[in-house]
Amino acid sequence: MESLIFRRDEEPKDEPKTGSIKNVFSHVRKNMIPLSSFFNESDKSKMAKKLFDRDVNQFNLFISELDKKKTWHEAYQYMDLELKKRNRDILSDEAKNLTDRVYQVFYPDDISIDL
C-alpha cells in the first residue's frame, strides 16, 4: 500500500513574487477617496435595509470605521466580523455588493462597478 508524504518544511519553489495571496491581503490603500462616495443614497438605503436592520446611521458609522482601514485584509476582516455579528449571510447580493465596492477602493484598476 502506498503512503502519502507531505513536505511541509519545504518552501514552494515556484511561488510568484507578485500576485500571490500574501500580496492581495497586505495591499495598502492608495486611493484616499472617502468610501462613502462609492455609495449613492439609494445604495445606502438598500444596504442599510438588508444588512443593518434599516438603520442608515449604523450603516454610515460602519462605513466611517471601514474608511479607517489601511489594508484590504483589515477591511475584509472588519466587514466579515460585522456581518457575522449581525447574523447576515456574507454571500447575499447586498453583502457581495458591499464587498465589491470596498475592494474597488483598494484595487481601483481590478474591477469597475456602475455607480
Spell out the residues 6+ positions from residue 28 whose beta carbon is closer than 8 angstroms to its own.
70, 71
Count of residues in the chain: 115
Note the pLDDT tens digit of each residue in 52-81: 999 999 999 999 999 999 888 899 999 999
Grid cell in block for residue 86: 449581525
pTM, entire model: 0.70
For 30-60, write each residue's pLDDT tens digit: 767 888 888 888 988 999 999 999 999 999 9
**Three cell numbers written together for 83:** 456581518
Residues contacting residue 54 through CB under 8 Å, at least 6 positions apart:
48
- Report which of 18, 21, 25 is spatially closest to residue 103, judged by C-alpha positions: 25
